[in-house]
Every structure is written in C-alpha cells, then in structure tokens.
C-alpha cells in the first residue's frame, strides 16, 4: 500500500482476511457510526448490560450485603487487576484495579518520592514532559508544592539531558495523549536508572492498545485507566502497579481501610497489607468493576489469536492506512501530521494538525457519523489537533477508508464553515 492509494475494495478484502474481524461482534456499536474515539472512551461490550444487570438485580437486589462473600465482590479488584496484568507485562498479584488514574498517580508518585528521598536525600526534582497529560502535571505540581520540591518540565528531546543528579523521579506517559507519540519504555527507564532515578509510567493510552512489558522494562511504578482501550465504561476504575522491589517500602499516602492488612479487624491503628493490596483505599465500586471485568474478557479473548502482538500488528496497519489516505486524498487541505510515521514511535491513534477550523471539522465529521475528538493548542508550540483513535478490537480497514473519505468530503464541501459546527460543547 506504500505507493498505490488503497481503494474501498482493497480495504474490504483486507477485512475479509483479517483474523481478528469477528472480535467486532462482541461490541454493541451503533449502525451508521465509525467510532474513532476509543482512545477517550472505549465501545460497549455486548456482555456488559446483562452482567451489570445481574450484579444489580440479583447480587445487590437479592443477596444484598452477602454478595461481598457469595458473589466474590471482596476479591474483585484483585481479580480484575490480574486480568490487566496479562496485557501490561505484570505478574499475577502485582496489579490492583482501584480508584482513578489521578488518585493512583498521587499514590505512586508519593511512594517514589519517599523512596528516592530515603535513599538519596539530595534528589528533589521531578522531571516530566511539558506535553504530558495535564492531570499528571497537576498532581506532580501539588506534591512539589507540599514538599518543597521542584517540577521540571522539558521537551521530549531534552529528557536525557534533564536526568541530572538531583532528579528523584522521571514521570512520563507512555503514549502521548495529544500526538500519539510513544516512548521506548525500556530505553527511557534505563536512562533514568543509570542516574539513580525512579520511573513512573502512565499507561492510559497504552494498556490494551500496544504491547507493554513493565517487568521486562524494569519500570518502577505504573498507573492507567480502564475506560479507554480496556472498554470498561465511562469513569471505569483505574489500575496501579508497583515493582516488587518497592512494593513494601512505603505506606500508601491514602491509607484507607481496604489497604489495611485486616480490612474487617477494625483496629484503630493502620497496618498496611503486604503487596499491591496496600494501594487500595476505600470501598471498591463493584458495578463499575463488573463492567470493566467484561471489557477485559473481550480483550483477553484475543490471546488465542496472537494476543497483544496481533492487536499491535492490526493497529499499525489501521493507523498507517489512515495516514496514507490523508496524505493522498487530502493533500493541499492544510493538514499536518502530529503523530510519528515510524511504527515503533506511535501508539494507536493519529493526530492531525490544522491552523484553522480543527474543532469545526471534527464537529462536521461527527454530524456525518465519524466520531473523533479535538484537543486545543496553546497558541504557540502546540497546535490544535484533530484526534482519531484506532481500536483494533472493533475497527476494520473499510472503516478507515470511509472515515478518510468523509473527511475529504467535509473539506471539499466546506461544510465545516457552517455556524453549527462552531458551537462549543462542554466536552470536546
């Protein structure tokens, strides 16, 4: 497909030959919609409504509080965590499904800073990318203000030079939320460790979309969310992972009763549980965990078909196809490519830039049934972005062709200039 623009017939043939094509049938996708926003909110697995209804009507409605025992509610965060472990290179018992990404980041960043200051009191700086997801930067900024530390924000290319002797933690998102650019986790971690620096990884745009090997990369801490490529539903619980060498060195800064060594002993003093269980805090959200559990079952159903390697191969093919169609079919329309073209440097999304009308173009596409999203620039180095996520579990090659064709028609017709497309919604 490098030199000849693929036709719709070409893409339909690829769909017929795709060994993952039947996974799409496990999702409830509306007809007439091409969903390219799974990097923000995954699609609904068909198994979720009945399973959650069972949790509501039978487990909650009939068995009531007994379901903590009879339905296994008490161990659900660990069991869901064990499923997540299978797609992020962690081992059984190393991952806990709990809380939100922001809260889990606070926990592990506080833990990393404590360990770093204990081992090396002179290390008082957190390094991160200026383009990192804002909530990650906010959490780091708040911790630095509280502890009198320094948060140093740098451009991606300046990360190696920033890893100086006073740095305690390197905090990065594996796949950048705006551009889709992906870090080499093993290489970045090795760079940090060579300077005695701990690493904290945010896997929000990685887990379930690209292969991740936390143990193989020798990472220190990781967090991620359950509602993007894990298809756990809006506000689904997040997850937390800590390398075994660090796991028992620090209390969670949110020392809640579910992280206690004996949750129902009700002692007045806190005794942390061993292992990842101590990174729980309050009562887990059972209905949300139930939905996430279904999403993970769909994701893990790809294991007999090649697992994450097979998903990655399809993801690269889908994103590569879209990039090629944009280059050939939308040449001269003012679009730039924010996502790296090199396969080993991108996640599972394609981000386009445009100096004018990016938001309105996305709205025009949505009106045509092609759902992506928009991320505003800063008026300087970061331009406005049209963002398209490619979830290989439920997207096909013909979907990509039709999406590019709809974008071509939006630009050719000029309909994005209509006033209705400029209306600003609360969520973009």
Catalytic positions, written as ranges: 133, 202, 227-228, 387
Q: Which of 335, 342, 344, 351 is nearest to 389 (CA)?
A: 351
Q: Which of 349, 39, 42 is nearest to 181 (CA)?
A: 349
As a whole number of angstroms, the distance between CA 71 and CA 83 comes to 18
- Range list of H helices, 221-346: 286-300, 307-329
Give the CB-side neighbour count of residue 361, counting CA atoms within 13 A: 28
Show Cβ contacts of residue 400 under 8 Å, excluding neighbours closer than 6 positions.
11, 318, 321, 322, 325, 390
- Range list of H helices, 72-175: 76-85, 101-119, 134-147, 159-162
As a whole number of angstroms, the distance between CA 230 and CA 232 comes to 6
Q: What is the CA radius of gyration of the chain?
A: 22
Show Cβ contacts of residue 371 under 8 Å, excluding neighbours closer than 6 positions.
33, 34, 35, 36, 37, 365
216 exposure class (CB count in 10 Å sphere: 0-12, 13-18, 19+): exposed
């Amino acid at each position: 497909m490098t030199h000849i623009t693929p036709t719709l017939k070409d893409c339909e043939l690829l769909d017929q030959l795709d060994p993952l094509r039947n996974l799409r049938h496990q999702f409830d996708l509306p007809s007439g919609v091409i969903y390219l926003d799974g990097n923000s909110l995954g699609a609904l697995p068909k198994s979720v409504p009945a399973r959650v209804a069972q949790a509501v009507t039978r487990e909650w409605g009939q068995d009531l509080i007994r379901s903590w025992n009879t339905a296994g509610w008490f161990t659900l965060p660990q069991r869901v965590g064990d499923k997540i472990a299978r797609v992020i290179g962690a081992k059984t018992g190393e991952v806990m499904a709990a809380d939100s990404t922001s809260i889990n980041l606070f926990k592990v960043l506080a833990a990393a800073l404590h360990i770093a200051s204990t081992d090396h009191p002179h290390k008082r700086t957190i390094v991160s990318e200026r383009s990192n997801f804002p909530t990650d930067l906010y959490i780091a900024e708040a911790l630095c203000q509280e502890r009198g530390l320094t948060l140093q924000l740098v451009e991606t290319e300046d990360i190696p030079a920033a890893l100086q002797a006073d740095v305690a933690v390197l905090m990065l998102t594996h796949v950048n939320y705006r551009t889709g650019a992906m870090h080499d986790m093993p290489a970045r971690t090795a760079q940090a460790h060579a300077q005695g620096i701990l690493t904290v990884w945010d896997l929000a745009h990685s887990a379930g979309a690209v292969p991740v090997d936390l143990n193989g990369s020798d990472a220190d801490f990781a967090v991620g969310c359950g509602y993007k490529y894990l298809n756990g539903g809006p506000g689904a619980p997040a997850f937390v992972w800590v390398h075994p060498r660090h796991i028992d060195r620090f209390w969670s800064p949110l020392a809640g009763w579910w992280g206690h060594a004996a949750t129902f002993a009700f002692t007045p003093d806190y005794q942390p549980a061993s292992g990842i269980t101590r990174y729980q805090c309050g009562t887990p959200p059972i209905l949300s965990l139930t939905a996430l559990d279904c999403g993970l079952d769909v994701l893990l159903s790809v294991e007999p078909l090649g697992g994450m390697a097979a998903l990655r191969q399809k993801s690269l093919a889908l994103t590569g196809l879209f990039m090629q169609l944009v280059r050939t079919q939308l040449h001269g329309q003012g679009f730039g490519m924010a996502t790296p073209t090199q396969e080993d440097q991108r996640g599972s999304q394609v981000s386009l830039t445009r100096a004018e009308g990016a938001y309105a173009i996305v709205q025009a596409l949505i009106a045509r049934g092609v759902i992506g999203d928009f991320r505003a620039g800063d008026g300087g180095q970061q331009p406005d972005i049209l963002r398209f996520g490619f979830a290989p579990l439920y997207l096909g090659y013909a979907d990509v062709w039709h999406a590019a064709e709809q974008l071509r028609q939006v630009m050719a017709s000029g309909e994005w200039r209509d006033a209705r497309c400029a209306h600003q919604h609360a969520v973009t």
